[in-house]
């Protein structure tokens, strides 16, 4: 079976800024879901009022129109009620958001073509580029080939080669609120291009 070709629409600065807002909403939704899963009265509502009885599985569609049903709902809920799971999920959502935005910016070479002759890439976009790389390398700053070669800063955070190899980028170097502020500042920068 032949599939129709999809046209890839490259997002512009405004579309990426709008996507940042969507990803922030996704993070808030995920954290709200964790709050609910850690509330005994909500779990009772799920089980007694909504029919998620013990033994319920998650049913996921497959390409051949069959279903995958190998995830025990209540086992997941039990794991989701641990601090480890909560922090890991929130870190994964932050990492995915950073990677997604960084990938979109990378596909447009960080809009360097919109800069006036002689200017360098905005330090905040360079900071995000290195942050994207760090979350892709195990939450560790990973510089190579003399990086950072361009100014890379955001607020009071300044990246330099001395950070290479240090881990704990998310939750230690940057707190969740710092990442949200970075996203806001990147969106504001993109809307101004």
Q: One digit per residue, pLDDT tens: the chain, 193 residues?
A: 444 444 455 678 999 999 999 999 999 999 999 999 999 999 999 999 999 999 899 999 999 999 999 899 999 999 999 999 999 999 999 999 999 999 999 888 887 877 766 677 899 999 999 999 999 999 999 998 889 999 999 999 999 999 999 999 999 999 999 999 999 999 999 998 8
Position 116 scores a pLDDT of: 65
CA distance 8 to 27: 26
Question: Which residues have CB under 8 Å from 74's CB, separation 6+?
Answer: 52, 54, 55, 56
Give residue 110's pLDDT. Answer: 80
Residue 74 CA to its chain's centroid (Å): 26
DSSP secondary structure letters along 11-79: P-HHHHHHHHHHHHHHHHHHHHHHHHHT-HHHHHIIIIIS---TT-EEEEE-TTS-EEEEEEHHHHHHH
Q: What is the pLDDT of residue 99?
A: 95
């Amino acid at each position: 079976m032949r599939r129709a070709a999809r046209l890839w629409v490259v997002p512009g600065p405004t579309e990426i800024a709008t996507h940042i807002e969507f990803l922030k909403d996704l993070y808030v939704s995920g954290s709200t879901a964790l709050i609910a899963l850690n509330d005994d009265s909500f779990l009772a509502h799920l089980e007694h009022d909504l029919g998620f009885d013990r033994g319920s599985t998650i049913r996921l569609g497959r390409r051949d129109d069959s279903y995958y049903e190998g995830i025990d709902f209540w086992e997941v809920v039990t794991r989701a009620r641990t601090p480890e799971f909560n922090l890991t999920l929130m870190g994964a959502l932050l990492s995915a958001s950073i990677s997604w935005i960084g990938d979109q910016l990378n596909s447009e070479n960080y809009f360097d073509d919109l800069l006036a002759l002689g200017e360098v890439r905005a330090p905040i976009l360079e900071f995000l580029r290195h942050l994207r790389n760090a979350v892709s390398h195990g939450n560790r700053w990973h510089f190579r080939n003399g990086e950072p070669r361009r100014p890379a800063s955001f607020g009071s955070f300044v990246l330099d080669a001395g950070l290479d190899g240090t881990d704990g980028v998310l939750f230690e170097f940057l707190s969740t609120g710092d990442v949200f502020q970075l996203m806001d500042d990147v969106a504001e920068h993109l809307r101004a291009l």
